Amino acid sequence: MKLVKNTEQSQKLKNVTDKEAEDAFRTILSWMGEDPLREGLLETPKRVVKAFKEYFKGYKEDPNQILDKTFGDVEGYDDMVVQKNISVQSHCEHHMAPIIGKAHVAYIPKDRVVGLSKLARVVEVFSKRLQTQERLTMQIANTLMESLDAKGVAVTIDSTHQCMTMRGIKKEQATTVTNYYLGQFKDDLSYQNRYLRFISVPKD
């Protein structure tokens, strides 16, 4: 699986200490034209390292383990389960600028369902890594499909990329929408259309 490959690759990387990371941020502050020794910036490298641990904690988490526990006592429920408006906070891998938006996730269970909070947690694990939106959408869908042995999975992400809004082309109102369908959602347009209607219904 891709997760195993990523884990193996990460094990080959140098183990960088917090102090080494803080020194790197001091260098960047100097490169910017700042004085890292002035009072307001003395603790900034330490704070940034702490913040980065939160931004990118997904590298240390296994989404498949999140989906380990499922429930079979659902009295034969076999229609789609849709979870809308899951907040997404990620960073693009090209400029390390924030990606802010929402994810919508649906799956069709075969025999068992998973706790609702687990869907949002899978979104968060993959979001807390350097990403492209396209890959993020596919990673969430493929993991749900494989781990839940689902009949079908649909994932939609609608987000704003600050690498577009704050730099470069600077189009503040631009948003990006990606969709990925597997199983019955891909093979049967009636499921796909129902899913799209569900996620487009405004919240009262």
Distance, in Å, from the CA atom of 121 to the CA atom of 19, rounded to the nearest integer, reads 30
pLDDT in tens, the chain (204 residues): 445 455 555 556 789 999 999 999 999 999 999 999 999 999 999 999 999 999 999 999 999 999 999 998 888 888 999 999 999 999 999 999 999 999 999 999 998 999 999 999 999 999 999 999 999 999 999 999 999 999 999 999 999 999 998 888 888 889 999 999 999 999 999 999 999 999 996 655
Report the pLDDT value the prediction gives residue 203, as an integer from 0 to 100. Answer: 59
Q: What is the pLDDT of residue 8?
A: 54
Kindly name the residue from 20, 43, 65, 94 that is annotated as catalytic. Answer: 94
Q: Where are the domains of the chain?
A: 2-55, 63-200
Of the candidate CATH numbers 3.30.1130.10, 3.30.1330.200, 3.40.50.300, 3.60.15.10, the domain formed by 63-200 belongs to 3.30.1130.10
Residue holding tokens 């690759």? 9
Catalytic residue among 22, 91, 139, 161: 161
> Which among 34, 83, 95, 162 is annotated as catalytic?
95
- Which of 22, 92, 124, 139 is an active site residue? 92
The yes-or-no answer on residue 93 being catalytic is yes
**Does the active-site annotation cover 124?**
no
Query: Could you give the CA distance from residue 118 to residue 105 in angstroms, rounded to a whole number?
Result: 11
**Which of the residues 91, 124, 131, 133 is marked catalytic?**
133
9 is catalytic: no
What's the whole-model pTM score? 0.90
> Nearest CA to 136 among 107, 160, 164, 103?
103
For domain 2-55, the CATH superfamily is: GTP cyclohydrolase I, N-terminal domain (1.10.286.10)
> In terms of Cα–Cα distance, which of 82, 98, 99 is closest to 177?
99
Is 91 an active-site residue?
no
Q: Considering 20, 43, 65, 93, which one is annotated as catalytic? A: 93
Q: Which of 83, 89, 146, 163 is catalytic?
A: 163
φ, ψ (nearest 5 deg) of residue 184: -65, -30
- Integer CA distances (angstroms), 22 to 14, 28, 52, 77, in order: 16, 10, 11, 51
